[in-house]
Structure 1
Amino acid sequence: MTTTRFAPSPTGYIHVGNLRTALFNYMIAAKSGGTFILRIDDTDPVRSEEKYVDAIKQDLEWLGLTWDKVERQSTRLDRYAETADKLREMGRFYEAFETPVELDLKRKKQLNMGKPPVYDRSALALSDAEKEAMRAERGNGVWRYKLDQERIEWTDGILGDISIDAASVSDPVLIRGDGQVLYTLASIVDDTDMGVTNVVRGSDHVTNTATQIQMIKAIGGTVPDFAHHSLLTGPQGESLSKRLGTLALRDLREAGVQPMALLSLLARLGSSQPVELRTSMDELIEGFDVTQFGSAPTKFDVDDLYPLTARYNQTLSLDAVKTRISDLGISDDQAERFWDVTRENITVLSDLAEWADLVKNGAEPLIEDEDKEFVAEAMAMLPEAPYVDTTWGEWTSAVKAATGRKGKGLFMPLRKAVTGRQRGPDMASLMPLLQVIKAKG
C-alpha cells in the first residue's frame, strides 16, 4: 500500500512551491489507490497558528486535494521524546552548548583552512561536570544526532543515484535548547510510525534526506522511496522567495485563477510532457509519472495561469455560472445568450461584470475624430431597442448603402461606438442583449 504525506507548517499560507510538493505526493497516492496524509508540522508553538491550519485545509479543498487522514505533530510529542531517549541510549544523541556566534566563528575558521564547514563535535569531549557548568551558565544545550561518517546512498526517483559523504555534513540539531522538537526528528518518527512509502519534496532537501535515511535505519524504520523535484524560479530564472507573498494560493484564488488551470500547469511543469489543460483530476493523475521530471530549476510564470483559466472557463456549462450571472442583474431568459456571447471574451469569471455593465448601462463610445460624422449618421439610422438577431446585419447594410463605407471601415467604428472597445463578441449575437447604447443619445 502506497502512503504519502504533505507536511506543511501552519506559519503562513500555502504558495505555489508548497503546492507542487503536495500535488506530487497526492497524485502518487491516488494513482495507486493508496493513502495521502495531511500532516500538520505544528511543533513550533510560537509561530504556528490555527488560522493557518484552517487556511491550508481550505486551499487544498479548493484544489480538490482531499486527504485520507490528518495528523498533528503537536499531539505526538511523547513519541518524539521516546525516540530521543532511545537515541541517547544508543549513544547517537549528544548535547552541545555553542552559541550561534561561536558556531559562526568555527565555520569561518574551517573555511579559511580549506575544510568543510561542519560541526567539529567538540561537545562530545565535555565531561559531565563541564556540561553542568555549561547549563548553569547558558541554559540547556541543543541535542545533535551523531552521524556515522560514511557514504549515504540511494536511488532518487528524479535525480537518479545519489551518494553523500556524511563526514561532509554537520551532525543535525534535532531538539533546540528550549525543548522544541525540530522537523528532522519529527519527520523520521512520523514517516516510520505512519508507514510512509514515498516522499517527494524539493531538491533543497537532498542533504536532509541523506541524514534522515541514516536516522530511519537507526531507529529500525523502513526507508521510503525519495524523489526530489526541481525548485521553481521566476520567468527570468530569479528566485521566487521575494514573490511568494503574491503567489499564495488564496491570492491566486482571489484573482480568479481556476483550480484546474493551476493544477494542469504544476502537474507537468518541469517534466518531459507538455503543459495542457486538463478538466479533471483523474486526467492529471492518469498521465503523471514522477520519473519524467528533470533536475534543472523550473521557470514558473504566474501569467501562464490566465490563458489556461480562460480556456477552462470556456468549458463551463450555463449551470456552473448561472448564479453568478443572475447576481449581475442579467435576467434568466437572457442568461444563456449572455453566457454564450461572453464566455470566449473573458479571462476570469469576474470579467463578466464588465459585460453585464455594458449590456445594462451601455459603454462610453470610442470614436476617432475622422469617424465622428460617420458614426453620428449611422446612429441616427439605428432603430430603437429591443434589438433582435437581425438588427446588426440590417443596420450595417443600411449604413453601407447610405455612406458607401464597407469592410473594416464600416464595422470597426460602429463596434467601438457601441461597445467602447475594439474587440469582443460577434455583434449580431451581442445586439439583442443591449439595453442602452450611449452613442445613440
Structure 2
Amino acid sequence: MTTVTRFAPSPTGYIHVGNLRTALMNYLVARKAGGSFILRIDDTDQERSKEEYVDALKADLEWLGLSWDREERQSLRLDRYEAAAESLRSMGRLYECFESPTELDLKRKKQLNMHKPPVYDRAALAATEAQKEAWRDEGREGYWRFLLDQVRIEWTDGIIGPISIDAASVSDPVLIKTTGQVLYTFASSVDDIQMGVTHIVRGADHVTNTATQIQIMQALGGRPPEFAHHSLLTGPQGEELSKRLGALSIRDLREGGIAPEALLSMMARLGSSQPVELRMSLDELAEGFDLGQFGAAPTKFDPADLIPLTRARNHHLPFSAVADRVAKLGIPAAQAEAFWAVASKNIDKLDDLGQWADLVLNGAEPAVAPEDAEFIATAMALLPEPPFTATTWSEWTGAVKAATGRKGKGLFMPLRRALTGMDHGPEMADLLPLLHKVRAKG
C-alpha cells in the first residue's frame, strides 16, 4: 500500500513552529516511504478562514521546501460530508440535539458536583418527534452528535505505543453545528478515508479526537490510518508555549533571519533520542527520520537554539547562493567571493552581512585605549594606502613590531581594534585586503 500523509491546517492565522513540526513529520514519513503528501486546507469555518492565510501558509511551506503532491479544500467537499451524514443518520449513528450552550453547561456543572465525568447524557435520544417539532417552533435549531459505541477503543500509536480509551468516558462528539457547519472531527474523518490517508502524525492533544474518529471512520466503512501523536512543545523552562506560538510564526522567524534549514533540522529531531544536527537537505532529514525515536513527554523548545543552527547553515552556503545579496550591498564584483569567504564565518544571520559590508566599504570607528594612542599613531603612519594585498598585514605588522618593539597580543589586538573597532573577527590577513578605507589613518 502506498503511504499517504497529509498536513491539514485551518487558514485562520499564520502557521507557527507547532504547525511546522506536524507538517514536517507527515512530509518526512511520506518521502521516506516514497509516498504521497497532501496539503489539505481545512476551511469549513468560513467565518474565520481567510484566503490571505492560505497564501501565507503556502509561501511558508515553499520557503521551507515542503512541496505537496496535491492540494485539497474542505470547502469544496461539502456534498461529500452531507452524503456521509445521511449515511450515518440512516444507521442511527447521527442524532439531533437541541440543548442550548447554557443548558449543557448546567449539566456539566451538575455532573462535576456529583463527582462524575462531564459526559453528555444522551437525553436527546429520548426526545420524540413531537418534542423536536416543539423545540423548533420555539426557535431552537438542532445540532448533530455521533452515537459512540461505548466500548474500549484501542490502537497502537506510532509514538506513544498502545492506547486504550473507554468510549463511555467520552461525550458523543458534535459533528454538525446548528449553523450546518461540519466540524473538524467529522470532515477530517470523511476526508482521510476518501483520500486514502494511511498515516497521520499530529499533536498529543488530539488523542481523544483519534478515539472518536476511529469509530466514525469504521461506521462509514473505512479503515482508520496509522496514528502517531507527537509531544507538545513547551518553553525552555517547561512553561506553556501555546500562548506564545503566535510570536513564533514561520513568517516572523523567516523575517527575523532564521534559516529554513535550521528550522527543519530542529523540528525533525526535537523530542527524539537523536541529536539535533544541521542537515542541508530534506532528503538527509528523511533518510534518518524514525517516529519510533520520539517520546511522548512535553518537549522543550528554545528559539535561541535556532541561531547556532542558522550560523552553521550560513557557513555551509556556497557563494553562488548569496551572490546577488552581496552585490546589492555594494561590494565590487572582484571582491565579492572573498568578502563572502570572510564574512560567512562571522555572521549569525545573512542580514548581518550589512555590518561587514559597511566596515569594508566605509571603515570602522577606531577603538583605541589611551595607553595605545601613541602606538597606534606610529602604526598608522607605517600603513600604506589602500588597496591592500594578501601580504600587507604581515608586512605591516612586521614593520610596526620593528618600530615599537611590541609583539604578540600587545601588537595585534590594538591594531585589530583600530581597524575594525572590535576585539574579535576574521583573520586580519584575510580582512585587510578587502578594506577600502581605514578611519584610524585620519
The interval holding the TM-score normalised by the smaller chain is: over 0.9
Q: Distance in 1 between matches of 2:99 and 2:363?
A: 72
Q: Residue 109 of structure 1: CA displacement? A: 1.3
Q: Distance in 1 between matches of 2:156 and 2:210?
A: 12
After superposition, residues 286-325 of structure 1 pair within 5 angstroms as 286-325=287-326
Q: Residue 41 of structure 1: CA displacement? A: 0.2
Q: Residue 138 of structure 1: CA displacement? A: 4.0
Structure 1 residues 399-423: Cα deviation after superposition (integer angstroms, max 9, x where no partner): 2222222211211111111111111
Q: Secondary structure of the equivalent of 1:105?
A: helix
Letter in 2 for 1:165: D
Q: Which moved more, 1:382-391 or 1:285-294?
A: 382-391
Counterpart in the other structure of 2:117: 116
Counterpart in the other structure of 1:231: 232
Q: Distance in 1 between matches of 2:122 and 2:41?
A: 32
Counterpart in the other structure of 2:336: 335
**Residue ranges of structure 2 left out of the alignment (5+ in a row):** none
Q: Distance in 2 between matches of 1:209 and 1:195?
A: 17
Counterpart in the other structure of 2:278: 277
Q: Secondary structure of the equivalent of 2:410?
A: helix
Q: TM-score, normalised by structure 1?
A: 0.98
Q: Distance in 2 between matches of 1:140 and 1:108?
A: 23
Letter in 2 for 1:373: E
Q: Which moved more, 1:104-113 or 1:212-221?
A: 104-113
Q: Secondary structure of the equivalent of 2:95?
A: strand
Counterpart in the other structure of 2:75: 74
Counterpart in the other structure of 1:407: 408
Q: Secondary structure of the equivalent of 1:47?
A: coil
Q: Distance in 1 between matches of 2:422 and 2:249?
A: 33
> 8 Å contact 1:235–1:299 — kept in the other structure?
yes
2:175 maps to 1:174: yes
Q: Secondary structure of the equivalent of 1:428?
A: helix
Counterpart in the other structure of 2:202: 201
Q: Distance in 2 between matches of 1:86 and 1:326?
A: 63
Structure 1 residues 306-357: Cα deviation after superposition (integer angstroms, max 9, x where no partner): 1111111111111111111111001111011101111100111111111001
Counterpart in the other structure of 1:146: 147
Q: Secondary structure of the equivalent of 2:138?
A: helix
> 8 Å contact 1:96–1:141 — kept in the other structure?
yes
Letter in 1 for 2:144: W
After superposition, residues 370-385 of structure 1 pair within 5 angstroms as 370-385=371-386
Counterpart in the other structure of 1:241: 242
After superposition, residues 80-91 of structure 1 pair within 5 angstroms as 80-91=81-92
Counterpart in the other structure of 2:266: 265
Q: Which moved more, 1:310-319 or 1:129-138?
A: 129-138
After superposition, residues 206-217 of structure 1 pair within 5 angstroms as 206-217=207-218
Q: Distance in 2 between matches of 1:137 and 1:273?
A: 60
Q: Residue 103 of structure 1: CA displacement? A: 1.7
Q: Distance in 2 between matches of 1:406 and 1:243?
A: 52
Structure 1 residues 368-405: Cα deviation after superposition (integer angstroms, max 9, x where no partner): 23322322222222221111111111222222222222
Letter in 1 for 2:360: V
Counterpart in the other structure of 1:423: 424
> 8 Å contact 1:97–1:138 — kept in the other structure?
no
Aligned length: 441
Q: Distance in 2 between matches of 1:365 and 1:14?
A: 45
Q: Distance in 1 between matches of 2:15 and 2:37?
A: 17
Q: Distance in 2 between matches of 1:76 and 1:107?
A: 34
Q: Residue 184 of structure 1: CA displacement? A: 0.7
Counterpart in the other structure of 2:369: 368
After superposition, residues 339-354 of structure 1 pair within 5 angstroms as 339-354=340-355
**RMSD, aligned α-carbons:** 1.1
Counterpart in the other structure of 2:105: 104
Q: Secondary structure of the equivalent of 1:36?
A: strand
Structure 1 residues 124-145: Cα deviation after superposition (integer angstroms, max 9, x where no partner): 2222222122223343122111
Q: Secondary structure of the equivalent of 2:163?
A: strand
Deviating above 4 A after TM superposition, structure 1's stretches of 4 or more consecutive aligned residues are: none
**Residue ranges of structure 1 left out of the alignment (5+ in a row):** none
Letter in 2 for 1:360: L
Q: Residue 99 of structure 1: CA displacement? A: 2.1
Q: 1:370 to 1:139 in 2, by over 3 A?
A: farther
2:13 maps to 1:17: no
